Amino acid sequence: MEKRPFQQHISNEDTAKLPAVLFEGPIVIVDDEKQVEAACRDLASSPVLGFDTETRPSFKAGVTYRVALLQLSTPRRCYLFRLNRMRFEKQLVKLLENKAILKIGADVAGDIRSLLALRRFRPGGFVDLQQLAPDWGIEEREAGGVRCFRLWPHRIAGEGFFAAAIRKGGQRGRPLRPKPRKTLLAEASRSETAELSRWVGQPDLMRFARIGDSLYGYYATPFADIRSAAEYLNTLHSGICMGQMFGGRLKPDHSLAMFHDLARSAAAETPLSSDEALHYLRREDFAPQAEAAEGMNLMTFEGYALGWAKRIGNRFNNLYPKSQMILNK
């Protein structure tokens, strides 16, 4: 059988084509010592297991709880061992010490420490996905007790990313409820909604609102919650900025050009060559070889939307945002 070469990188486009994976096997809850032997026998027949633990969360400083649940899974069946209701049996210890069976998880060291608090054993065959992260260009750091992950754009096939999870310590007090402020999201008028609906592919799924001089689009399902939160919280950004209205017509914002459900029929499209696309992204003046329609045009490159430009007679206005233009020549 021919071995396929290991693929070092995968593009965002290839990732999007991958099928969604859902574990459809049975989930077996083990909370009796009599069930442990059969469960461990089944688990030992698989060379690779998924591994995780769950512990009751603590919201008080210095208060911790013992691990309550051990999860071990084969590709066919998942077992949940309720360690808070049963003993940490020898069969489980033998399985966790077996170096020939890989147990794969994230933050494995923390899970093992929790299990060692219940019973001493010699962990074997564990693989921590977070230890593999540096090989994938992911950097893990800790500052002030806060763990964070940096995905540097020059080390990964992507744009870069930062993630951190923070939990407030101390005792839980009565939640503060700030007084509601003036409603910021005023629903768009009927005429504004009619105009905005032309610019989205599925207008029935959208709601539109005005914030100041700009109009925004929201999916209808979370709109009520977003509107309610905006009355109590200082909301920096929400929704898709559609643009501003002038004489009953929308002057589209750059965010709308990037919206995945933009109705491409709402404005004329002007395809650009590679050199023209670079001129456009540098916010330089240029005249595209393809004939541009009078008025607003969506600039595209190989079918991908780049932003807006407006033709007024013989003049061609580049509307790409100055804050996002590329500077290299």
In this structure, are strands 206-211 and 78-82 parallel, antiparallel, or unpaired? unpaired
Nearest alpha carbon to residue 288 among 269, 273, 301: 273
Is 10 within a domain? no
* Distance separating the N- and C-terminal Cα atoms of the chain: 49
148 has a pLDDT exceeding 50: yes
Question: 121 and 40 in one domain?
Answer: yes
CATH of the domain at 256: 3.10.450.720
Please count the other Cβ atoms lying within 10 Å of the Cβ belonging to residue 16: 7
Is 14 within a domain? no
pLDDT at 153: 77
Where a domain ends, among 222, 238, 263?
A: 263
Is 175 within a domain? no
pLDDT, one tens digit per residue, over 104-117 is 998 888 899 989 99
Is 249 within a domain? yes
Range with lowest mean pLDDT among 77-86, 157-166, 295-304: 157-166
Q: Which domain holds residue 235?
A: 180-263
What is the rounded distance in angstroms from the CA atom of residue 120 to the CA atom of residue 91?
Answer: 13
CB burial class (10 A; 0-12, 13-18, 19+) of residue 79?
buried
Question: 201 and 294 in one domain?
Answer: no
Average pLDDT over residues 30-36: 90
Is 52 within a domain? yes
Element (H, E) at 305: strand 304-312
The answer to whether 37 and 43 are in contact (CB under 8 A) is no
pLDDT band at residue 327 using 50, 70 and 90 as cut-offs:
confident
Question: 121 and 27 in one domain?
Answer: yes
Number of domains within the chain: 4
pLDDT at 146: 77
* 214-250 as b/e: b if 16+ CB within 10 A: ebbbbeeeebeebbeebeeeeeeebbbbbbebeeeeb
Question: 50 and 117 in one domain?
Answer: yes
Question: 215 and 190 in one domain?
Answer: yes
Is 13 within a domain? no
Average pLDDT over residues 252-256: 96
Where a domain ends, among 246, 263, 280?
A: 263
Question: 75 and 50 in one domain?
Answer: yes
Is 6 within a domain? no
pLDDT band at residue 6 using 50, 70 and 90 as cut-offs:
very low
* 44-65 as b/e: b if 16+ CB within 10 A: bebeebbbbbbbeeeeeeeeee
Average pLDDT over residues 274-278: 92
Question: 124 and 141 in one domain?
Answer: no
Question: 30 and 116 in one domain?
Answer: yes
Element (H, E) at 15: helix 12-17
pLDDT at 1: 46
Where a domain ends, among 238, 263, 288?
A: 263
Is 1 within a domain? no
What is the rounded distance in angstroms from the CA atom of residue 270 to the CA atom of residue 262?
Answer: 15
Question: 119 and 34 in one domain?
Answer: yes
pLDDT, one tens digit per residue, over 291-319 is 888 999 999 999 999 999 999 888 889 99
Question: 69 and 31 in one domain?
Answer: yes
Nearest alpha carbon to residue 30 among 91, 75, 101: 91
pLDDT band at residue 259 using 50, 70 and 90 as cut-offs:
very high
Q: Which amino acid is at 118?
A: L
Nearest alpha carbon to residue 82 among 35, 47, 125, 24: 35
pLDDT band at residue 253 using 50, 70 and 90 as cut-offs:
very high
Question: 52 and 64 in one domain?
Answer: yes
**Rounded mean pLDDT of the chain?**
85
